[in-house]
Structure 1
Amino acid sequence: MENTYTYSPLDRVIWDTPATEAILNEINRLGVEKVFIVSSSTISNKTDEILKIKNTLGSKFVGLFDSCIPHSPLENVIDCANSVQQNNPDIIITIGGGTPIDTVKVVQLCHSLGITTIEGLKKISNKHQKKASKIRQIAIPTTLSGGEYSIIGGAMDTKKQLKERYTGNDICPQVVILDPKLTLHTPDWLWLSTAIRSVDHAIEGLCSSSTNPLIPPMALNSLQLFARSLRDTYNDREDIFARSLSQKAVWMIAKNLGNTSMGASHGIGYLLGSIGSVPHG
């Protein structure tokens, strides 16, 4: 419908706050008792961040899936969904880039619709699901691709080498936590390349023919922040203020996903990722 702006069911964004502090506050606010963690293997195996979160959760921690594979192959999504089903948590904490966040979006659909097989997943690809999620996620992004703000997830059919689209009314995270210090673990090439993905979103928003009054100014402001922060991060990767500005630039533009049409670059990105294992960006 024209002249309509749709907000995703994201409760809140918390910025410039240590992840463990924000997690504890949100777990108490939401009143959940069982928490499952999904993370990238790098964050889990090469840093102590997952251990910190587990210690913060204490007895509320019920399980971990840290075997996410880039581009979220359907087989990997089902493995994660089965692990979530076995542990029956109240909420999922997702930490990492677009891969674990997308994986959990599709896992939410599996959990809510009782899907346990790849064949079952294929039946709902490219078909929007309206059923309310039985479980939500708290996302702690470590890259700048911006998928944490949308109700769109992607998972790859490895036989076809094609990334399939999965959408649902509320599969976006319930809470997003932006901890710029945590992103110091992200390799520079990944941080900067995923930023280009969000720069692309901002340019598409700025150049869009949409009459939406929010998108052009937010896109321009996002580009202005990126123009400063990405140069500063490139020159000094320890610049936490610059990292924070980049995260806010993503927030400004990524929340508009779905409210403006995407250009050819978006479709090309999906194909390159599936066929050539090219990272987002």
Structure 2
Amino acid sequence: MQKGTINLGIMERVIFGQPSATALVEEVDRIGAKNVFLLVGGTLNKETDEVKKIVKALGHRFCGVHDRMPAHSPRDAVVECANLARSCNTDLLVTFGGGSVTDGGKAVTICLEHNILDVDGLEPFRTVVNEKGNRRFPEYEAPTVRQIAIPTTLSGGEFNARAGITDSRLKLKQSFVHRGIMPISVILDGAITRHTPEWLFLSTGIRAVDHAVETYLSLDANDYWDGAALHSLKLLHEGLTRVKQDADDLEARQKCLMGAWLSMTGIVSGCRLGASHAIGHILGGTANVPHGYTSCVMLPHVLAWNRSVNGERQHSLSMALGQPDVLAAKLIASLVEELGMPQKLGDVGVTQSQFVDLAKNCMLDDWTFSNPRMIRTPEQVIEILELAS
């Protein structure tokens, strides 16, 4: 008989299928915020009018904007944004953009609550992993300035109480985990994703596929998470292939957003993932590979490496993808190819000369130690990297 615990977060609402500016104003009214600060994607702010729509809709409640959050949410950009937001007496943070903006926003709320003024001030708040894979979660007061997230990609981090923040000095992405950094609300608006570059939308869609797959194959898998993961996979497969065929298919874009939300069901309630995510974190922070691309180049090869211990479970993934007689690793690889995404580490600029450092850093990520096939040495990580090379 299955045993486990489902941890519920503190998110209050998810609004979908409504124009983002309209939905945001309704949420601001509900929450009663007076000084709303925007953390937005730079391209979204400079090359579209979507941010201007939100500023106009907020009216006198708009108090400032930051649009300089680089990929992988480096600490210095987080602190810069927090210092600006603090100077505006912010009482609500709205993030509008991709995964780096969303995660950066979570860390901004930590900085606001604890008066963090420089990059070293974030150090006591990060999660630490020892050589056995055991995690230490610092205890601290939850942020009182909450976050509303409006995602434009499919990474799904807006549903999570975890932020990936990069220490640029170490070239290492580190986790900040606290139930209090989960956004209070999320707004899913397929129409605004039309501005997202195709490569970014589709690659982060594979990131969401990765969430669903590694949730279903998790050491912690249970019936509750299984159902969400498998349906997520179906929605994402349909939605992504339709968007590739017709970028203006807004119904398909909304299906992708809903699929990405479902893919996070396990993660946000305590599910441990595996090597695709662990290696992906390190590829991002150490080798500067974009979020979505990490899953494109790693997931099929992690599936192949793990198949000796969970081949039967992987067959259910093949069934969800509509081809039960084809290995899941091949089906995911075919989807990546169909979407025109990179398939090998070399395609994203990672060479074998980097493998030793990447593998060493992977041993600092907690999800390395919860991979279905046990990983306890850097050499095992290198085996997976070689499959992907």
TM-score bucket of the superposed structures, by smaller chain: over 0.9
Q: Deviations over 1:229-265 (max 9, x none)?
A: 1110000010000000000001112132152221101
Higher helix share: 2
Give the TM-score normalised by structure 1.
0.97
Could you give the per-residue CA deviations for residues 185-215 of structure 1, whole angstroms, max 9, x where no partner exists? 0001000101111101101122224353210
Distance in 2 separating the partners of 1:64 and 1:119? 24
- Could you tell me which residue of structure 2 aligns to residue 265 of structure 1? 276
Which residue does 1:191 correspond to in 2?
201
Structure-2 separation of matches of 1:129 and 1:57: 34
Q: Does residue 217 of structure 1 match 2:227?
A: yes
Equivalent in 262, 265, 274 of residue 285 of structure 2: 274
The correspondence of residues 144-155 of structure 1 with structure 2, limited to 5 A, is: 144-155=154-165
User: Which residue type is aligned with residue 254 of structure 2?
Assistant: S
Encode CA deviations 1:126-157: one digit per residue, 9 max, x unaligned. 14344121201110000000000000001111
Cα separation, 2, equivalents of 1:211 and 1:198? 17
User: Is the Cα–Cα contact under 8 Å of residues 37 and 93 in structure 1 kept in the other structure?
Assistant: yes
1:200 counterpart = 2:207:
no
Query: Aligned equivalents of 1:245 and 1:128: distance in 2?
Result: 36
The 1-side partners of 2:123 and 2:28 are apart by 33
Cα displacement (A) at 1:30: 1.0
Q: Which runs of 4 or more aligned residues in structure 1 lie more than 6 Å from their structure 2 counterparts after TM superposition?
A: none
Partners in 2 of 1:167 and 1:211 — Cα distance?
21
The one-letter amino acid of 2:110's match is: L
1:36 maps to what in 2?
Answer: 37
Uncovered stretches (5+) of structure 2, i.e. residues with no partner: 128-136, 293-389
1:275 counterpart letter in structure 2: T
Correspondence for 1:102: 103
Q: Using the aligned pairs only, state the percent identity.
A: 38
Distance 1:271 1:130 in 2: 26
Quick one: distance in 2 between partners of 1:24 and 1:15? 14
SS of 2:262 mapped into structure 1: helix
Q: Which residue of 2 aligns with 1:79?
A: 80
Q: Which residue of 1 aligns with 2:265?
A: 255
Cα root mean square deviation, aligned: 1.2
CA contact (8 A) 1:131 1:169 kept: no
Larger Rg: 2
One-letter amino acid matched to 1:78: V
Question: Does the 8 A contact of 1:78 with 1:118 survive in 2?
Answer: yes
For residues 40-79 of structure 1, what are the structure 2 equivalents within 5 Å? Answer: 40-79=41-80
Number of equivalenced pairs: 280
Query: Is the Cα–Cα contact under 8 Å of residues 225 and 265 in structure 2 kept in the other structure?
Result: no
Q: How far apart in 1 are the matches of 2:112 and 2:219? A: 38
2:144 is aligned to: 134
Structure with more relative contact order (C-alpha pairs < 8 Å, separation 6 or more) = 1
2:254 matched to which residue of 1? Answer: 244
Q: Distance in 2 between matches of 1:82 and 1:211?
A: 41
Name the SS of the counterpart of 1:154 in structure 2.
Answer: strand
1:40 Cα deviation (Å)? 0.7
> What amino acid is the match of 1:26?
E
